Amino acid sequence: MDKGQKFSAGFFIVAIIIAWLFAEFVYKPYVEGKSEVPYSEFLQDLDANAIEAVDLGEDRITYTLKPASADAAKPSDRPIVDGVILNVKAFTNRKAKADMTKNVVRLLDPLLIERLASADVAFGGISKNGFSDLMMGILLPMLPLIIIWYIIFRNMRGSGAGGIFSFGRSRARELQGEMTGVHFKDLGGVGEAEIEIKEIIEFLKEPERFRKFGAKMPKGVLLVGPPGTGKTLLAKAAAGEAGVPFFFITGSSFVEMFVGVGAARVRDLFEQAKKKAPCIIFVDEIDAIGQSRSRSFNSNSEQENTLNQLLAEMDGFETNNGVVIMGATNRPEILDEALLRPGRFDRQIQVVLPTEEGRFEILKIHTANIPLDSTVDLKSIAKVTPGFSGADLANIANEAALLAVRRKSDKVSMKDLDLAIERVVAGLQRRTPLTPEIRKKVAYHETGHALVACFLPGTDPVHKVSIIPTAKGALGYTLQRSTEDQYLVGEVELRSKMAVMLGGRAAELLVFNEASTGASNDLERVTETARRMVTEFGMSKRLGPVRYAAPSMVYLHDGTQSREDLGTAIYADITAEIKDFVSSAQESALNILREHEAALHEVARVLQENEVITGDEIQAILKRIEGEGGSAELAEHEKLEELEVN
């Protein structure tokens, strides 16, 4: 029986119940309030002047007794106000029945109208019968309510598997392995994560080979990593490779406003999975139900009940043979410890940001169906995109294709990919005209960033400087591109990066003798960097190698929060050290710009004329102004960059 048949059966059952209640409590009292009497008794009431009004119907006559005379002339059980129904069909022969609907009154008593008129009784023409009165008087007003009830019932049916009567049913979608359409050949940059997943797949395919050595299949696999690194895609590939049933559900699907629904859905999910074993259950964003119970103020919350049921199903009194639970989250630090212990999520797989080789693989996958011209060098794109996730790289490939279509080209060029990277990093360019004064300030601001980056060691090389406003609210931007993946950053490099951040503000102070609001984002970033250096990295001589920061989100980069157990004196020292770090970075930027002020004015002039200047053009201007061999600082910086590349 499909869902439509189940719905029809349920609907008609409810409709029959409502019809019975209506007939029992509405229609039956309406009908029983009237009684049928012989026509001779009607004539007696008429002769006794006891009738107040008469209604002549098609197949019956209904009359009402006078209240004053009814008590005296009739027994106490006779109706007074309710109409008395007279069945006309009983007094008509077969011939009369044929023409009864035409003129029933004439066949029954031709003198009835005259007798009613002489008795001064109010009478009416042919009206609808009692059932029609019931339909018009009671059912018709209820019709809108019935329609509304039907719509609500239908919508609640669509709100989940089974509808209004199945809140406790699991909402997991079952897919067969081949239905996911994803295999490991469709993935790139996942590295060791793929190797660990393949081991789970081999166990599902050939369990006996592992059981010979007494090895047990991991009950749970937790995929953790930053957003966009392909955790969900990796789970789909695992299902596609294993060829077993795959149950997909999100953590938030277990939680409802009704108490106990989440736990019931967990039970139902595992019951379905046991019937299809071996199989895989994948819970995406498992942190929605797996948060640590120590964080909850209500010990009987719906989320906690759902988590307890999940813990019991994963490793409780009963065993789940052949059922592998896979979870994905980018917030592993908030998960309950009982969920992460061996026997539940036995294995945690780190799905990290791809390396240069991994980015190259991802770019090849996402550009497989995109026509590329001979200028495209995917290895070069992979080299200059450290820190980009798989989702970012897919977005770059798509944006480059859109740019090629926009300029009506047959193929995607290297320039399209460069512009796509800029669009992802800086935002869509807007050709908003700037006044000459604002244009000049923005040009000097961005030139300050670029020049400080050129003369300080340990900074990323400048790729492009633009004073074209972007959709992200920036009036200009300085784009630096790293040449390699960074895993560790030293104190000198951090101080250099802070000086680059404040290079724009330093240029404004040097040229215009005042700072503007354009440096607000720079101040925010440099202050956060200084705070982490002091409170998290232990780089303050005054405070020493002590961590004063509270734990932060591992993969969401929500910043470092101060601890609440620190004294006032410590807070004052932290604030003073942060101020010293930022002031030192600004002074370093000012010194560089004062020393190379001629280059500052020249690069800013070219930038105002062309709106965009590349890193190579800046290097050419510096060599021309500083001398053929360049300044000592520039030469040292280029030497360091060459060593880093090699």
Residues annotated as part of the active site: 446
What Å distances lie between residue 319 and 201, 247, 276, 344, CA to CA? 20, 18, 15, 11
Count of helix runs (H) and strand runs (E) in the chain: 28, 13
Region at 353 (left for phi over 0; alpha for psi -120 to 50; beta for the rest):
beta
Residue 453 has, within 13 A of its CA and on its CB side, a CA count of 25
Beta carbons of 200 and 238 less than 8 angstroms apart: yes
DSSP H stretches of helix in 23-136: 28-32, 39-47, 67-73, 94-98, 100-108, 112-118, 130-134
> Cα–Cα distance between 192 and 176 in angstroms, integer?
25
Q: Which residue carries 């991991």 as its tokens?
A: 218
CB 84 within 8 A of CB 64: yes
Q: How many CB atoms lie within 10 A of CB 316?
A: 14
What's the number of CA atoms in the CB half-sphere (13 Å) around residue 561? 10
Q: Is residue 597 classed exposed, middle or buried when 0-12, 13-18 and 19+ CB atoms within 10 A define those classes?
A: middle
Tell me if 325 sits within 8 A of 314, measured CB to CB.
yes
> Phi, psi at residue 328, to the nearest 5°?
-135, 140
Residue 363 near residue 399 (C-beta atoms within 8 A): no
DSSP, collapsed to helix, strand or coil, labels residue 408 as coil
- Assign 3-state DSSP to the chain and report helix, strand, coil percentages, each to 5: 55, 10, 35
Asked if omega into 278 is within 30° of 0 (cis), the reply is yes
Question: b/e string for 270-293 if b means 16 or more Cβ within 10 A?
Answer: bebbbebebbbbbbbbbbbbbbbb
Neighbours of 157 (CB within 10 A): 20
Cα-flanking dihedrals φ and ψ of residue 341, to 5°?
A: -75, 160
Contact 469, 475 (CB under 8 A): yes
Name 49's Cβ contacts closer than 8 Å, sequence gap at least 6: 66, 69, 119
